[in-house]
Amino acid sequence: MAMKNFSMKKLYYSISEVSRITDLEQYVLRYWETEFEQLNPAKNSSGNRIYTNKDIKLILLIKKLLKEEKYTIEGAKKILKNYNISDDGAEKSDTSDVKQKAGELSLFETGSGDAVPVEESEERMAADLKEIRKFLEELYNQLED
């Protein structure tokens, strides 16, 4: 039985691989492509989607915003409009416009019925993004071994 060589970092992933990595169904990934303009994986000569590491980071951020932070799709779009996930994994954000509207866009409510304060939400998101990056680095290291 031949062992696969995982010593090289993959540049592209299939939709089935991304589905496993992100724990999302393939139809969800396809739907998100129609909703989020930033999520636009290239296609190979056969017409199959090919995702980059940057695409996977974006998908994990979208998943976090929608499923854990309870943003609506429209709210997540407004947050993502100000985010830039570079190929090296650095996240950059211009939240000046988002700060005013983030409370309105979140479905997550505290016990008092008020939206989560923007600063708290941003701190959680920053911490979660660091956690996602750590997870991806660990995954990459496992593939190298």
15 pLDDT above the threshold of 60: yes
Average pLDDT of span 21-30: 95
17 pLDDT above the threshold of 90: yes
Element (H, E) at 92: strand 91-93
Q: What is the pLDDT of residue 120?
A: 63
84-99 tens-digit pLDDT: 665 444 455 444 444 4
Where is average pLDDT lowest: 27-36, 62-71, 72-81, 116-125? 116-125
What the block records as the tokens of 15 is 């939709």
pLDDT confidence of 7, banded at 50, 70, 90? very low
Burial 6-32 (b: 16+ CB within 10 A, else e): eeeeeebbbbeebbebbebeeeebeeb
Contact between 33 and 40 (Cβ < 8 Å):
yes
44-86 tens-digit pLDDT: 999 999 999 999 999 999 999 999 999 999 999 988 887 766 5
Query: Mind listing the domains of the chain with CATH numbers?
Result: 15-144 (1.10.1660.10)
Burial 101-134 (b: 16+ CB within 10 A, else e): ebeebbeeeeeeeebbebeebbeebeebbeebbe
As a whole number of Å, the end-to-end CA separation of the chain is 17
Q: Where do runs of H (alpha helix) occur along the chain?
A: 15-22, 26-35, 53-63, 73-81, 96-105, 118-144
136 pLDDT above the threshold of 70: yes
What the block records as the tokens of 87 is 């190929």
pTM of the model: 0.56
